[in-house]
Structure 1
Amino acid sequence: MLTSFNSWRSVWGRLVASILLLVALLVLVGRPAPTPAKPPEATQGSLDLAAWHLGEEPPISLAGEWRYYPGRLLGPEAFGGALAPTGSEWVRLPALLNQPATGLERGPARPFGTYVLELKGVPAPALYALKRINLLADVRIYVGDELLYERQKAPGGGYGNDPNAAAFRLAQAPERLIVQIRDVDRERLATFDAFLLGTERQIQGARERQLAMDLFMFGSILLMGLYHLGLYVSRRKDPSTFYFGLFCAIIALRVLFTNEYYILTLLPDLSWRVVNRVEYLTYYLSLPAFVRFLRALFPQEVPRWAARGTLGVSLLASAVVVVAPFGVYSQTLHPFDFFTVAAAVFIVTAIVRAALKRREGAIAALIAFLILFAAALNDILVSAGVIQSPYVVHFGLLAFIFAQSFLLANRFARAFATVEELSDRLLVLDRLKDELLAATTRFVPDQLMRLLNKDSIVDVRLGDQVQRRMTVLFSDIRAFTTLSEQMTPQENFNFINSYLGQMGPIIREHDGFIDKYIGDAIMALFDGTPDGAIAAGVAMLRRLEHYNEGRHHAGYARIEIGIGINTGELMLGTIGERDRMEGTVISDAVNLASRVEGLTKEYAAPLLITDETLRHLEHPERVAVRFLDRVKVKGKSEPVMVYEVIDGDPLPLRQGKLRLRDRFERAAALYQEGRFEEAQALFALCLAEVPEDSAARAYQERCRLRLTRV
């Protein structure tokens, strides 16, 4: 965590250092303007440019006092004599030509007349250009005796798509500029802004630079907007990326509809009314988008009511722009300007509070506002002639948006770093979980949880249970008590664990699971048909042969085991109390399996099964069995038939038992009928051919005891 904090601090340190360097460069570039810094200005209808070196100095604004002839349209011929026409007055330009219609009044200020400016000291011969700015009216423009430009209202009304700013090439040095105004657009605020005069290269270069700047701003801001909108699509939990992307998209659209109005180059048939409305709408809608963005970043400092209030005012003003004529919606501009200033003060205050509380990204947002403010202040000082510096408000806006983008990128970087850290932790936890689950399966088998319809041990609850038909396998080491008394405690545990380590995997290999260990005994369960249980029992006996060989080579005595298998309905579930529970099986089928395992000692037969198990075998032809005995069991009215599985015997013994199976079963039947003498004779014949048949020997001894009692 400390490393992440140091990394975050170093990133913001580099950002602050970069901004300080930018401010220093602006200070160096924005040096005090040399004297004289102020260009000449028109006075009493005349502008002397003798001291202004056109081509070397920037293009000059033809602002100032123009001669105005109200109500008269005068052409160049009227000024050909030595005396100028009378009846004029002085008017300062730029000026408002009309008062737009509001529905209550129509009050044009100067809708009809001629404006004249005499130009003196313009050097020749040079190629000059004149740039007209924001003049919506029926107009004629003369330079000297030449008609330079004329525009009239279209038959359907309006002025078409004439650009708001246009440049005109002059064939000679201008001496007089005459502008005839016949009618003005009363649906739009018409102003007579100043003309710009300069060399053709200056005017054209200025326009191209402005276009290049507009396109650069448009492309850069639009790409930022699309990028952050894409981030929002991929991660909708963070709304800050959506609002910032929306803000960038609105600002990018506004760039096309302002300055050089590049949108008219792309869409020359687009109506000026649409252009003007979009210009207003992009201004009005950008504010709530940005406030929403800040609320997403600093929800405690920017309350919900501020975001909703800003949105409400902006939507109201936008609705007026959409439905009302220009004369009405233009009246919303100045009130909204004041609202924007108030919102800006609130925003700065909120960001300062966030910075004081060390909110993430607050310092960057504050610095971004300072950059934009410094750029705007620079342009104001340049316009006032206080300093000589390029106009940088566009760069300030771009830097402002870039800083916000950097803020979001840093948030995402920190989020990704957190995700990576959490992913690493999750991997560790996942490994620990796997180890824990692996450990729990040693105590609670996976098969038990599956039978209880549980996904993991954490889902198991006290009292969970299920009833189904299963096969129970009991195995036990014969004479283990005697064997155990000959070993130390450590040797006892080593021996038991060694033996169980041989037998446990066999049960799992045959789709069974160990329900519990009872000392040296194993209780295992098999779902489905009992074929797997019998196969597991046979495999255990064969593995025991190899295990005994190892014990023999190590100097230990051989061991023998007995295996009893029974199939029946049982209840499988969990018992215990809140802090200690375990899985268990409740059924007389379990007791019978244990009883059958006990019979293996009486008959010295290693693997016995019940008739219920034999009856449910899926492939009985694969199992070699012989009838062994009929046993009375507590709780059952009928005796249980027990069979010996001889597949686990050594090959010679197995072959002998199979060959004499009918004789053995006939002898066992005679014993069940009480015909002990005949049974004894048949068992004797079996032993004569297969002396290793322990079950036949046990029966023979039982027959002898019965006959002795008689």
Structure 2
Amino acid sequence: MKKLFTILSLMILTSFSIFSQESTFAVKDWHRLENKTVALDCDWDFYYGRFVPYGSKVRPDLKVKIPHHWNDYKIDELNNLKEGKGAGTFRLKITNLRPNTKYSFLTYKAALSAFEVYADENLIFKSGEINEDFRKTKMQQYMNLAEFSSDAKGCVTLTFFVSNYEYRKGGLQRTIKIQESKSYKEKFFRNLIVYDLVGGTLITIIIYSFILFGLEKQKTHLYLALFVLSIFLRIFTESYPVIKYFFPLIPYHIMLRLEYIALFFAPGVFTLYVNSLNKNIFKNVNALLLASPAFVFLLLDIALPLITLNRLVPIMQIWCFISITINLIFIIINACKEKNMITYTTLFTIIIIGFGTFTNIMYTRGVDLFNGHEFLPESFALYGMCQTILLAWIQNKNREKVTELNNYLEEVNKAYYRFVPKEFLKFLSKKDITELNAGELHSAKMAILSADIRNFTTISEQLTETKVFEMLNSYLKKIAPIIRKNNGIIEKYLGDGIIAIFPESAESALVCSIEMQEQMIQLRKEFVEKELPKIKIGIGVHYGNVTIGTGGNRERISEVSISKDIDITVKAEASTKTYQRPIIVTKPVLIAALKEAKLQNRSLNFSGSRVKTNDNSELFYIYNDITGKAL
């Protein structure tokens, strides 16, 4: 019995000594705290349901590992803690610090959801309104540093009074990391500057994407803006809550609602964004249906009371992982079929976003995977780089398509100009053919030229259709450039005939007629080599009023020329057969050419003989005075 009594006594004394011993964290090397943080990841004293002041000899209820939510603490009959509700005290003595030195730690969400921090008996930070009657807790969080000083022995005792009612978890949420105040403040403000720059960049992307959506009405820009916005809110309300630093009076429940958006909304709009980039990824599945839970959660985020909403967070987290997994599966399947930049970049970005989201969620749940670091900001920065490269690639592809389209349109325009010359558009004061409408017209005095192959019907009857086309095309290829060279416009082709107008100069029409006949001398030699008939043409030139316009309807428009002077020109050309002359011109065109020459202080070089028709209208025959050889 004595032995049994002795054993029981030792067990009781040992148990009492364990709980009576104050939880202590001894810093191994206080020099390290000059430039680096040290995590207080050790056992802390925990007192349930009461705020135990510094110096009290009350034995703690538990020795608990921090960070760790008190929902899982092994205390009998603590049903409230299992739901996150409750109040309590956390205490830890820190030793081996540099004596009489100031230290700091980051306070935001150190505890949920309201807390006070004491260094020994001195209050150093307060967040919200705590109460041992946890139902009276008033939630609030601040993004700042709490500062305390070590005593002459290099010791200090930190005490956290924590109470929570609305949040689903309670206790100290994150590892407390301390560092000497001077260096910690410098690092804190450096981080603020860095995150401000990152935030400014993200806001620029958001605004720019919204502007592009407003201008181009492409949903890709809208989905990208919403996705970047949701990630922005997650980073700056949870990962590094710069918003709370600059706007400390924002209610905590609003911060939480903004924080949750990335969990459910980002995966949804990312699905729609990926689908808008590449329609083949979700071609067999309705992308909007896959994204629909995001919009349901958004409504719940707005409508539900916080005490209910934050208990949906695990479901949101599950939905987030499911959505990322579904996207990943479809993108991998598509990558196996389509090997292109969009697919590969999308696959890579969803992997890094998934990794960043996973570390962020584990971090908020108190799971220390990477020495207490979560990679959501870094993963999103890498995502931004990838999207920049992808958008640059898409822009380059679009530029190539635009260049290709411009080249195509240029060829199309060239083809159109074969039917409607540029000069005709200029004559009607139009920039391009798209501006033409039926009923457009313009009248002016100008020279008119008519040319026709003599005896074409008789000649064509002796040739095959192929030979006829070969002959006509060879003829037109030689003659048309001469007309254009002399600033003439081919008004229309009439089978083997040509009607051309010369708006700028009557003399140009005369010179053109001579050059055309000169060209025919060379063309006849070529026709002999090709065993084609040695054709001759007759040319008539006149000067008078011409009205050019468009006729038809909305579906079919054609160029129309109306003028009795065109009829006179055709009549002059027909007279070349009667008088056996290659060129016959009228008196009005000679008078107009003479006036042009006088305005330029020169004489008109013209050789020809006068002939009269049956109606006594004068016609003139001219010949090539350059070679002196009749045509």
| TM-score, with length taken from structure 1 | 0.54
Cα separation, partners in 2 of 1:296 and 1:383, compared to 1, 3 Å: closer
SS of 2:47's partner is strand
Q: Is the 8 A contact 2:539 2:582 kept in 1?
A: yes
* Residue 251 of structure 1: aligned partner: 231
* Distance in 2 (alpha carbons) for counterparts of 1:516 and 1:199: 96
Checking the alignment, whether the CA contact within 8 Å between 2:86 and 2:165 is kept in structure 1 is no
Tell me the equivalent position of 2:89. 115
Q: Is residue 357 of structure 2 the alignment partner of residue 340 of structure 1?
A: no
Name the amino acid aligned to 2:47: Y
Q: Is the 8 A contact 2:223 2:270 kept in 1?
A: yes
Instruction: From the superposition, tell whether residues 347 and 508 of structure 1 become closer, same or farther in structure 2 (CA, over 3 Å).
Output: same
Give the deviation of 1:186 after TM superposition.
Answer: 3.5
Provide the residue aligned with 1:5 in structure 2.
none
- Report the CA distance shift for 1:322/1:214 in structure 2 as closer, same or farther (over 3 A): farther
1:404-423 correspondence runs (5 A): 405-406=385-386, 409-410=389-390, 412-413=392-393, 415-416=395-396, 419-420=399-400, 423=403
Q: Is the 8 A contact 2:202 2:232 kept in 1?
A: no
Q: Is the 8 A contact 2:263 2:320 kept in 1?
A: no
Q: What is the SS of the residue equivalent to 2:142?
A: coil
Aligned to 2:279: 299
Q: Which of 251, 256, 259 is matched with 1:271 structurally?
A: 251
- Report the Cα distance in structure 2 between the residues aligned to 1:642 and 1:232, rounded to whole angstroms: 74
CA 1:524 to 1:112, structure 2 compared with 1: closer, same or farther past 3 Å? Answer: closer
Change (3 A) 1:53 1:313: same
Percent identity among equivalent residues?
A: 10
Aligned residue among 325, 330, 334 for 1:350:
330
Correspondence for 1:287: 267
Which of 313, 318, 329 matches 2:298?
318
Aligned pairs for 1:501-540 (under 5 A) are 505=483, 524=499
Count residues in correspondence. Answer: 525
- The one-letter amino acid of 1:642's match is S
- The aligned residue for residue 171 of structure 2 is 192
1:248 to partner: Cα distance? 2.5
How far did 1:230 drift?
Answer: 3.6
User: Which residue of 215, 231, 241 corresponds with 1:261?
Assistant: 241
Of stretches 131-140 and 340-349 in structure 1, the one that deviates more from structure 2 is: 131-140
1:219 matched to 2:197? The reply is yes
CA distance in 1, matches of 2:87, 2:212: 61
RMSD: 6.4
Match of 2:23 among 42, 47, 51: 47
Instruction: Summarize the Cα distance change of 1:609–1:159 in structure 2 as closer, same or farther, 3 Å threshold.
Output: same
What is the deviation of 1:169? Answer: 0.9
Does the aligned pair in 2 maintain the 1:563–1:608 contact within 8 Å? yes
**Matched residues in 2 for 1:386 and 1:565: separation?**
97
> Quick check: 500-509 or 157-166, which moved more?
500-509
**Is the Cα contact below 8 Å between 1:475 and 1:597 reproduced in 2?**
no
Deviations 1:297-355 (A, max 9, x none): 34333358564235432222222222332112112211111111211221221222122
On the 8 A contact 1:445/1:514 being kept in 2, the answer is no
Q: Distance in 1 between matches of 2:574 and 2:98?
A: 128
Contact 1:218-1:256 at 8 Å conserved across structures: no
Shift of 1:357: 1.9
Is residue 169 from structure 1 mapped to residue 148 from structure 2 by the alignment? Answer: yes
Question: Quick one: structure 1 residues 546 and 263, their matched pair in 2 at CA, closer, same or farther if it must change by over 3 Å?
Answer: closer
**Alignment partners' CA distance in 2, 1:85 and 1:507:** 110
Gaps in structure 2 of 5+ consecutive residues: 1-17, 73-78, 131-135, 437-443, 455-470, 520-535, 552-559, 597-603, 626-631
Partners of 1:506 and 1:417 in 2: CA distance: 39
Residue 362 (1) aligns with residue 337 (2): no
Q: Which residue of 1 aligns with 2:62?
A: 90
Question: 1:142 Cα shift?
Answer: 4.2
Q: 1:171 to 1:351 in 2, by over 3 A?
A: same
Code of the residue aligned with 1:216 in structure 2: it is V
Deviation at 1:538, TM superposition (A): 6.6
Bigger Rg, which one: 1
Instruction: Show the counterpart of 1:59.
Output: 38
Q: Which amino acid aligns with 1:258?
A: E
Corresponding residue number in structure 1 for 2:464:
none
Measure the CA separation in 2 of the matches of 1:413 and 1:387.
Answer: 38
Amino acid of the residue matched to residue 328 of structure 2? V
Give me the whole-angstrom Cα distance separating, in 1, the residues matched to 2:317 and 2:252. 23
| CA apart distance, 1:514 | 8.0
Structure 2 counterpart of 1:393: 374
Equivalence for 1:127: 101
Distance 1:305 1:243 in 2: 18
Separation in 1 of the partners of 2:361 and 2:479?
A: 89
- 2:97 and 2:481 map into 1 onto residues whose CA distance is 113
Indicate the SS of the match to 2:293.
Answer: helix
Contact in 1 for aligned 2:447/2:505 (Cα 8 Å): no
Q: After superposition, where does 1:489-638 map in structure 2 within 5 Å?
A: 505=483, 524=499, 592-593=571-572, 596-597=575-576, 600=579, 631=614
Q: How high is the TM-score relative to the length of structure 2? A: 0.59
What amino acid does structure 2 have at the position aligned with 1:336?
A: M
Deviation at 1:567, TM superposition (A): 8.4
Per-residue CA deviations over 1:243-262 (Å, capped at 9, x if unaligned) read 33432333223322124532
Answering whether residue 622 of structure 2 is matched by residue 642 of structure 1, we say no
1:409 Cα offset (Å): 2.0
Aligned residue identity for 1:90: L
8 A Cα contact 2:446 2:544, kept in partner:
yes
Partners in 1 of 2:114 and 2:484 — Cα distance?
A: 103
Residues 472 and 593 in structure 1, CA contact (< 8 A), matched pair in contact too: no
Match of 2:310 in 1: 330
SS at match of 1:319: helix
Task: Note the alpha carbon deviations across 1:674-698, whole angstroms, 9 max, x for none.
Answer: xxxxxxxxxxxxxxxxxxxxxxxxx
Give the AA of the match of 2:89. Y
User: How far apart in 1 are the matches of 2:97 and 2:351?
Assistant: 44
Q: Which amino acid aligns with 1:293?
A: Y
Tell me, which stretches of 5 or more residues in structure 1 are unaligned? 1-41, 99-104, 461-467, 479-492, 548-558, 575-582, 632-639, 651-710
CA contact (8 A) 1:354 1:362 kept: yes
Give the match for residue 528 of structure 2: none
- Aligned counterparts of 2:498 and 2:94: Cα–Cα separation in 1: 118
- Describe the SS at the equivalent of 2:23: strand
- Partner SS state of residue 269, structure 1: coil
**Distance across 1 between alignment mates of 2:86 and 2:481:** 113
Distance 1:409 1:225, change over 3 A: farther
Post-superposition offset of 1:503: 12
Q: Any conservation in 2 of the 1:608–1:643 contact (CA below 8 Å)?
A: no
